[in-house]
Amino acid sequence: MNYPPVRQFDGMLLCSRYAFMPNKLEYCGGRHNEDLFERGINNSADPFLFSLLKEFQTLYPYLKLIAESNNISDVFDFRVVEAYWIGNELLEKTNMRKFYWHFIDNLNLKKKLRQDEFEKLIGKIPSGAIPHHSFHVFNVWLRTGNLPIAHTIETMNACRISWGKIIGINGNEMEVETQNLIEKENKISLSDSITKKIIYKFFDRGFIENPKINDFVSIHWNFACDILTTQQVKNLEKFTQYSMNLANRQSLTK
């Protein structure tokens, strides 16, 4: 698989790009956002970055599940990190028994969710649940980071990793052509194409260097995380749709 030059780095650095914005908003992880940002900017994959990413109570257990299911020793192997945030072939080899105990032991969802909610979630494992970020966003209604409250359609849309084509760049913002998550008749789907402005720099510093018109970027909480390859766009769209289909098998009404 071929990546642009900016992608030729350790998986921890890729992970820091996606973890940065929800951490800045104090939704997930510890209180070292500036350290997370600086290491991402400077491509510094050091032991402290490892410790920062381990503080993400939902992220790290999912990475462990993917790595163990694929006999990969490094939790932050690039392929593992990409599988969780974007999606790749590693998701198809998930150990279902480990997935079950992942919900109970690692995420403690049996205690956090109502019994009927937990049973619905567990029921999706034999139906083809995958350890992809979008599966958790769409199928676990409780936001399981630092704010254990229910998702809304707006927060699900912001929390999922979306993709957009750059159509304009101005200062610290870029305008992208993308889609919103919408709810209709108790089902979620993606809207028709829209344009929106997103952040890609703070004080003229960001993870994406030299973005170009028509590049595709990944977006997390209205922040541009990375440039995507054509295959990554296809994978992200594929696994997002797959996770929406699983969510739509059960009524969205709690």
Regarding whether 163 and 98 lie in a shared domain, the answer is no
Whether residue 100 has pLDDT greater than 80:
yes
- The whole-model pTM stands at 0.89
CB 68 within 8 A of CB 2: no
Regarding whether 100 and 174 lie in a shared domain, the answer is no
Average pLDDT over residues 209-224: 97
Domain that holds residue 31: 5-150
Average pLDDT over residues 107-116: 78
In a domain, 254, yes or no: no
pLDDT number for residue 3: 36
Angle at 47 between CA 44 and CA 53, to 5 degrees: 85
DSSP-derived letter for residue 139 is: H
Both structure tokens of 181: 């998550």
Both structure tokens of 225: 């995380």
Among the three residues 99, 124, 150, which one is the final residue of a domain in this structure?
A: 150
pLDDT class for 126, splitting at 50, 70, 90? confident
Choice between 178 and 42, residue whose per-residue pLDDT is larger: 178
CB 163 within 8 A of CB 177: no
| Total residue count of the chain as it appears in this document | 254
pLDDT number for residue 95: 83
Could you give the CA distance from residue 248 to residue 22 in angstroms, rounded to a whole number? 25
In a domain, 253, yes or no: no
CATH of the domain at 184: 2.30.30.140
Choice between 232 and 8, residue whose per-residue pLDDT is larger: 232
Regarding whether 134 and 11 lie in a shared domain, the answer is yes
Whether residue 210 has pLDDT greater than 80:
yes
In a domain, 72, yes or no: yes
Average pLDDT over residues 26-53: 92
3-class DSSP state of 54: helix
Whether residue 164 has pLDDT greater than 80:
yes
Regarding whether 53 and 10 lie in a shared domain, the answer is yes
pLDDT number for residue 195: 98
pLDDT class for 8, splitting at 50, 70, 90? very low
Adjacent-strand bridge partners of 181: 190
Could you give the CA distance from residue 12 to residue 236 in angstroms, rounded to a whole number? 19
Regarding whether 133 and 81 lie in a shared domain, the answer is yes
In a domain, 204, yes or no: yes
pLDDT class for 115, splitting at 50, 70, 90? confident
pLDDT class for 9, splitting at 50, 70, 90? low
CA nearest neighbour of 125 among 157, 102, 156? 102
Q: How many domains are there within the chain?
A: 2
Sign, Cα dihedral of 235, 236, 237, 241: positive
- Would you state the torsion angle of the CA atoms of residues 14, 15, 17, 19, taken in this order, to the nearest 10 degrees? 180
Regarding whether 164 and 134 lie in a shared domain, the answer is no
Average pLDDT over residues 194-212: 95
pLDDT number for residue 7: 47
What percentage of the chain exceeds 70 in pLDDT? 91
Average pLDDT score over the chain: 88
Both structure tokens of 91: 């998701």
Exposure string for 5-44, b = 16+ CB within 10 A, e = fewer: ebbeebbbbbbbbbbbbbbbbebbbbebbebbbebbbeee
Regarding whether 131 and 10 lie in a shared domain, the answer is yes
Regarding whether 125 and 225 lie in a shared domain, the answer is no
Both structure tokens of 144: 């399981």
CB 167 within 8 A of CB 240: no
Regarding whether 239 and 188 lie in a shared domain, the answer is yes
